[in-house]
Structure 1
Amino acid sequence: MSSSLFADILDRQLVLDILLDYATPATIFCVSRTCWTARRAVQDYTRRTFNINTHLRRFFTNPISFRCLQARTGTVISGSNALQFLDRSFYSDSDLDLYVYPHHAIDVGNWVMKHGGMEYTFKPILNQHAEFRVAALARPEWSGDEEDEDYKMEGARNLLNFVSADKAKPLTVQIIVTEEAPLETIFKFHSTVVMNAITFRAAYSPFPNLTFEKRASVVIRRSALEFVLDKYRNRGYEILNGLPAIFAKYRGKKSRYMAFFRDRHMDDKLSWVLPLNMDGIEWPTVSRNTPQLAFDPFAVNGWTVCEDDDYEMPAFSHAVVHQDTLTFRYICPVGFFPAIFRNLHELRIGEDEKRRRHPDNRAVWTWYDYALYNHVKELLKPRARIRS
């Protein structure tokens, strides 16, 4: 292709959009590196295409308000909705899945019904109480029937469904109340294709090469239902079920295969982190005595992908960082946990007395999420090699 023809394509937004719509993220990135004109054209394309406010407007009339709610509560979007956003695709029958901490479930549910803008109402599933507040505070007892399998989810304390008033094409927002950190529950899903996430700050894909370049999904749950996997096969993803299938996908190259099995962090070099427009979004303020957070708490999470030789399956290993000096809950590689625990324990000294004096006033407590963020970044720094 001549340079003049290439420049003509870059200058024609409609033509460029059609071409880039069929390109993978890696290809788009490569195009942006060819010249300054291409860089500006790709930046314009990504700004318009990855517009999170436009994406969310299908479910909420005020996406800015919802994203501020995300920042305050640590709510995370995952499942097929996050996949659609990053993949520039659309599934007409998909829901919006929100992963919410237990103490924020009522706040987020009330926001959906009062401020979502689509006249959402709470719709009980199976044995749930008809009143939302009662259902939100309860823990469903799954019967074990096949009918329950559509709802039962490992790592979830509760599931709350909200349906819009549109009878022709009703929309569903589902709140998944997590037991611990949202990412821990997300990682209990069937395979890697649905392990993407959207926070108030960024969209994350921990396995972008596998998902968007290879169009493949690694099965993590041994009990993954075949009809669920078939749904993603029909959407164009190759399902890799078992270690031999993964090895074959990497063309039998041990080094590439083993690169999949390692310690990971949500914003490491293997992840795709897509920053979102922050106009109108307030960074989290967790108390009067704690500085406003200047980072996305979700990015602090880490884990290890390991081989489960007993079942010839990959498995995720992690430790839950659950301290009452942290606003949010996190997961980390097991090897990181002792150092993190010691650091947080030292910070807690002196905080206990304040919390005894004000047991019900969380606004005056000091929270140490920023210290965890800094500590994790320090642990991830490459160490200089000592020459003997």
Structure 2
Amino acid sequence: MSLELLWVTSYISYSILAKLYIYHRPSTTDDLILGPLSPAELYKYARTCKASRNAVNAYIRRQFQVHKLLGRYFSEPEILEFRLLQFNTGMVISGSSALQFFNRSVYDESDLDLYVEHRYRKSIAIWLRQIGYKYMPHAKSTLATLDDALLSEFMGGFQEGLNLTEGWNEEYYEAILVLTFEKHRPYRKVQVITSILNPISKVLLFHSTCVMNIITHNKAYCFFPRATFGEHRRSLEVNPYRSGSDTIRVTRAFEKYKARGWTIIPYATREDFDGPNAAFPHGPRRVGDSKCWTIPILPDIDLPDGHAESNAWVTRYDQNMNVVMRFYGMYSRSLLRTGYILPEDDNLLDWIYEITSGISNGFILKLDR
């Protein structure tokens, strides 16, 4: 046999053995190999061949399981009930809780942060109480009992009918209530944060991009995956013009996420926001678009998709390359099951006004520009 033929034969044999290893190695071996890889590295590895793609997809199905996050707070039957509540109310998991899911990590000191429209707070709070969590009023709160908290209403100038408003108006995007629930042995803490607009409006106004992630009843979305989980983990400061106690709170949050491995950057470069591989892409965005990292939540509980992917916004930069998320909020207690956020577009608002203004004499549309 010639040396050249021997080399070709050896190469083919090695390739076959390599493919057999990839296809037939046990899942525990895959976990050891793929576990240390970042999401960006998993993506690159999955593109090398079909066998690698299958291995990565199987790894994602095994490792990115919401029960690993929720199992710290709820039993298996309660997790199913929780996901049904998410479907019925539009409640999302966000903050450090959702970040842990994508990062395949556990922050022992973290709470479970739940965001929901204010009108749906009661069913969630009552369920938490029923499964053993105790309402803990804040020291300065006048709402001493859960019943007091659940009786509190907030309309904030909103009228009956359809309301459209700028999402960055402080009156509309601040949390209305933060309901804290605790359970002991082991100690667990759940916070329910309510807002008048769609809860995604709160997420887009977080201090920086690394925590702009949500988990719905059937999907998890990371809004800025290239920066959050790339080779150099970075988080871009959002809405940087703050003052007073807000500045102190945000500074503490930055220190926390720096300790967890992220570099907080005050502004983006042109390379960061422009081009197909931009870490902080500018322009129109939508939940679940091609710039998001979207993972299905398993097991599938055979419910329709929710309304999360109907929400959109615009990522905008000023002359100093500071970033802000711009959107309008659309809300109605009587006409819409859930609120929505819409990209900042006056033509869109004019179109909505035109198609809804003649619905009925009792219909009221409030435009706050």
Task: Give the TM-score taking structure 1 as reference length.
Answer: 0.74
Tell me if structure 1 keeps the 8 A contact 2:274–2:281.
no
Separation of aligned partners in 1, 2:321 and 2:252:
21
Separation of aligned partners in 2, 1:78 and 1:306:
22
Higher RCO (Cα < 8 Å, 6 or more apart): 2
Unaligned runs of 5+ in 1: 141-152, 284-294, 356-388
**Residue number among 81, 89, 93 corresponding to 2:105 in the alignment:** 89
> Aligned-pair distance for 1:278?
5.1
Number of aligned residue pairs: give it.
319
Aligned to 1:228, the other structure's residue is in SS state helix
Q: Any idea what the Cα deviations from partners look like across 1:338-369, whole Å, max 9, x if unmatched?
A: 266157617x837x88x9xxxxxxxxxxxxxx
Aligned to 1:93, the other structure's residue is in SS state coil
Separation of aligned partners in 1, 2:22 and 2:279:
40
Separation of aligned partners in 2, 1:175 and 1:255:
37
> Aligned-pair distance for 1:280?
3.2
> Aligned-pair distance for 1:95?
0.5
Quickly say closer, same or farther: Cα 1:238–1:14, change in 2 above 3 A.
Answer: same
Separation of aligned partners in 2, 1:259 and 1:75:
26
1:234 pairs with 2:259: yes
Separation of aligned partners in 1, 2:66 and 2:302:
12
> Aligned-pair distance for 1:201?
1.5
Separation of aligned partners in 2, 1:8 and 1:282:
37
Q: Any idea what the Cα deviations from partners look like across 1:274-331, whole Å, max 9, x if unmatched?
A: 1122533544xxxxxxxxxxx320111111111133x652111101122442210011
Match of 1:163 in 2: 182
Match of 1:263 in 2: 284
Question: Where in structure 2 are the equivalents of 1:1-388 lying within 5 Å?
Answer: 3=15, 4-5=17-18, 7-8=20-21, 11-61=25-75, 62-115=78-131, 119-128=132-141, 129-138=143-152, 155-166=174-185, 169-213=186-230, 214-222=232-240, 223=242, 224=247, 225-242=250-267, 246-247=268-269, 250=272, 260-277=281-298, 279-283=300-304, 295-309=305-319, 312-323=321-332, 324-335=334-345, 337-338=348-349, 341-342=352-353, 345=356, 349=359
The letter of the residue matching 1:127 is K
Separation of aligned partners in 2, 1:253 and 1:66:
39
Aligned to 1:318, the other structure's residue is in SS state strand
Separation of aligned partners in 2, 1:326 and 1:77:
22
The letter of the residue matching 1:321 is M
Aligned to 2:60, the other structure's residue is in SS state helix
Aligned to 2:338, the other structure's residue is in SS state coil
Q: Any idea what the Cα deviations from partners look like across 1:13-69, whole Å, max 9, x if unmatched?
A: 222212211112232233333333323322221111011133211111121110001
Quickly say closer, same or farther: Cα 1:139–1:322, change in 2 above 3 A.
Answer: closer
Separation of aligned partners in 2, 1:275 and 1:70:
15
